[in-house]
Amino acid sequence: MSGIVGIFNRTGVAIDSGQLQAITKFMAYRGPDEMDSFATDGIGLGHAMLRTTEVVPDDRQPARLGKLWITADVRLDCRSELSEKLTRANGKCVASEASDAMLILHTYAAWGRDCVDHLRGDFSFGIWDAEAKTLFCARDQMGVKPFYYGDLGKVFVFSNTLNCLRQHPMVMGTLNEAAIGDFLLFGLNYNKGTTTFRDIQRLPPAHWLAVSRDKLEIKNYWQPPTEGRIRYARSDEYLERFAELLRAAVEDRLRTDRVGILLSGGLDSGAVAATAREIATNRGGSPALSSYTVGYDSLIRDDERFYATKVARYLGIPNKYMPVDHVQLFENWEHARYRFPEPNDDPLSSGGLDVCDTIAVDCRAALFGEGADNLMYFQMWPYIKELRRTGEWGRLLTETAWFLWVRPLPWRGVAQRIRSIFAQMRGNAGIPAWIAPEFAKRAKLEERWAECSKLLFPAEQHLVRPKAHASMLLPEWTRMFEMHDPGVTHAQVEIRYPFVDLRLVEYLLAIPVFPWAYKKMLSRKSMAGKLPQEVLLRPKTPLSAHPAVAKVGLGTTEWLNGTNLDGRICEFVDPNGLGNFGHRTQNEQFRPYCLSLWLKGIG
């Protein structure tokens, strides 16, 4: 979770070392362990280190290998396999004990820009190739690590910390109106290649970028696979392989002495916790594990504490319960510590930042179970069509009959579909009345609404798992990863996501959807005997209501006194179009106030 920064004067003019050091020092809050910078030939790299893995001899950055230099925020998977591939490619041993940054340098030395095809894990980096006079940058396949850059003509700057780039004197604060429009419509920027600032771009997940003195190239190097097809002879083989891959994904994220687990009381976080406990036990108790549960005691109905406590006790992992009922709407938003680099539509977000601070007191790495719901999204009809297409008639008859036997009664399915249709109708009402008409016209928001709405139902690239596959490409992932990044939270803890490990992504998109994705049978069967029965049988349980809306329902409207819609916000919002907050309040109604406070905060 280290902070990285780079400045490339494309004309060859020497880097202002004082400026580079000052910008690097700006990231001290996220990398207090060690700070260093390097500058030569019009290139400067800076690094603010926070060690979240075991210390190795060459664990210093910027790091050097011959004529290559790197600054990286990185945590690699499959290190032993990569070391073996490098040894075969180079004809000399490349030790797996090398730091992650040095392994990336060796990989680039062996395969150049194709190095990203050999890297697994979470990474964001910039490599200066002194021989080619080229800066090569990349972001990991899922986009766990952020990467921002500014192409300012003669100067190119990059960082994994958005506000860090705003410290460079050539980066202006001019807003990107398209991103503002997306925020007001959808609550986030749906363009994965831009930010809220016109001068700062975002490198999308699974992309690399190469900059020379006269050229800038960007390339998408990976997509969630569509062609994978895994079929075993025995059912137990699916469970065994899943357990093996989950163990590998968790183990690669336990390279430190203390690790936290965000424990919700659901199946996914429980599976991560059970796997981590098994690994730690086999290692003689290393790393030390602790778990953290966020919940509500009175604001809304919430059973997370009950189930999370059962899991923690069952596994023998200490659990800290953190109720957030007390957090008030827009609490602490006036303080820089709680100010997000880009607009954020959660009025209760300060509570989440405080939770990160609490976890950071105990550990520098925490595991999060997000991802399994998407990868195990169940669709039976595309699977049936595949069985017909491949002529697997025996399996078609057997599994269709099995599905019809175990599925909910037809009238329950109809009722659920009706509820879903009405929910979509409520959630797709078009351009809100409170958006300023001139801005809506200038930003072409009607066209943008139609364009981005299609992203919720993208083209079906995967014949058997269309929605599971498509869901992994949504911009909500980029937003979630960046919102949990220390560049945003200011907390010295790195959140890690075992279920978006590429080994699991590829596996779960390739196995038969039935029975394994049906009610997440794969997870439930693999965790039998490893988690409490109540958790194994527990259905997916979303929050009973949106907490911010529930606050309004309690008559909590004092925050309105400090969030008058005036000044710059009126370029985008018509205050007269806003209705009163009442029993029909929806979360979207908070966005004008969120944007107004954010604009006041950035000046």
Q: Can you tell me the distance from the alpha carbon of 112 to that of 69, in angstroms, rounded to the nearest whole number?
A: 13
Q: What is the pLDDT of residue 414?
A: 37
530 vs 543: which has the higher pLDDT? 530
Q: What is the pLDDT of residue 55?
A: 66
Q: What is the pLDDT of residue 488?
A: 95
Q: What is the pLDDT of residue 411?
A: 39
How far the first Cα of the chain sits from its last, in Å, is 28
Residue 75 has pLDDT above 50, yes or no: yes
Residue 406 has pLDDT above 90, yes or no: no
Q: Can you tell me the distance from the alpha carbon of 226 to that of 505, in angstroms, rounded to the nearest whole number?
A: 11
Residue 290 has pLDDT above 60, yes or no: yes
Q: Can you tell me the distance from the alpha carbon of 493 to that of 410, in angstroms, rounded to the nearest whole number?
A: 47
Q: What is the 3-state secondary structure (H, E, C) of 7-60?
A: EEECCCCCCCHHHHHHHHHHHHHCCCCEEEEEEECCEEEEEEECCCCCCCCCCC
Confidence of residue 545 (pLDDT cuts 50, 70, 90): confident
The whole-number average pLDDT for the span 549-557 is: 79
217 vs 585: which has the higher pLDDT? 217
Residue 562 has pLDDT above 80, yes or no: no
Q: Can you tell me the distance from the alpha carbon of 178 to that of 189, in angstroms, rounded to the nearest whole number?
A: 8
Q: What is the pLDDT of residues 127-142, one digit of tens each?
A: 999 999 999 999 999 9
| Whether the Cβ atoms of residue 170 and residue 155 lie closer than 8 Å to each other | yes
Distances (CA, A) of 229 to 232, 507, 510: 10, 9, 5
Q: Can you tell me the distance from the alpha carbon of 121 to that of 143, in angstroms, rounded to the nearest whole number?
A: 10
| Whether the Cβ atoms of residue 220 and residue 366 lie closer than 8 Å to each other | no
Please tell me the least confidently modeled range out of 92-96, 133-137, 152-156, 314-318: 92-96
Two structure tokens written together for 10: 């494309």
Residues paired with 537 in a beta bridge: none
Q: Can you tell me the distance from the alpha carbon of 211 to that of 128, in angstroms, rounded to the nearest whole number?
A: 10
Q: What is the DSSP letter of 589?
A: G
| Whether the Cβ atoms of residue 513 and residue 465 lie closer than 8 Å to each other | yes
Q: Can you tell me the distance from the alpha carbon of 246 to that of 154, in angstroms, rounded to the nearest whole number?
A: 46
The whole-number average pLDDT for the span 166-182 is: 96
Mean of pLDDT over the chain: 90
Helices (H) and strands (E) in the chain, counts: 23, 17
* Domain parsing of the chain, residue ranges: 3-220, 235-375+465-537, 547-602
Q: What is the pLDDT of residues 459-468, one digit of tens each?
A: 668 888 888 8
Closest Cα to residue 135, out of 164, 104, 154, 157? 157
Q: What is the pLDDT of residue 422?
A: 39
Neighbours of 314 (CB within 10 A): 18
Confidence of residue 558 (pLDDT cuts 50, 70, 90): low
Residue type for position 107 = T
Confidence of residue 395 (pLDDT cuts 50, 70, 90): confident
Q: Can you tell me the distance from the alpha carbon of 122 to that of 217, in angstroms, rounded to the nearest whole number?
A: 22
Q: Can you tell me the distance from the alpha carbon of 502 to that of 582, in angstroms, rounded to the nearest whole number?
A: 45
The whole-number average pLDDT for the span 52-73 is: 87
Q: What is the pLDDT of residue 419?
A: 44
Question: In the CATH hierarchy, which fold is given to the domain comprising 235-375+465-537?
Answer: Rossmann fold (3.40.50)
Report which secondary-structure segment, H or E, holds 361: helix 349-362
- In percent, the amount of the chain with pLDDT more than 90 equals 71
The whole-number average pLDDT for the span 103-124 is: 97
Q: What is the pLDDT of residues 10-27, one digit of tens each?
A: 999 999 999 999 999 999
The whole-number average pLDDT for the span 207-215 is: 96
Residue 556 has pLDDT above 70, yes or no: no
Residue type for position 215 = K
- In percent, the amount of the chain with pLDDT more than 70 equals 92
| Whether the Cβ atoms of residue 160 and residue 4 lie closer than 8 Å to each other | yes
Residues paired with 37 in a beta bridge: 46
Two structure tokens written together for 432: 């809100």
Question: In the CATH hierarchy, which fold is given to the domain comprising 3-220?
Answer: Glutamine Phosphoribosylpyrophosphate, subunit 1, domain 1 (3.60.20)
Q: Can you tell me the distance from the alpha carbon of 560 to that of 553, in angstroms, rounded to the nearest whole number?
A: 14
Report which secondary-structure segment, H or E, holds 63: strand 63-65
Distances (CA, A) of 346 to 222, 356, 595: 31, 16, 11
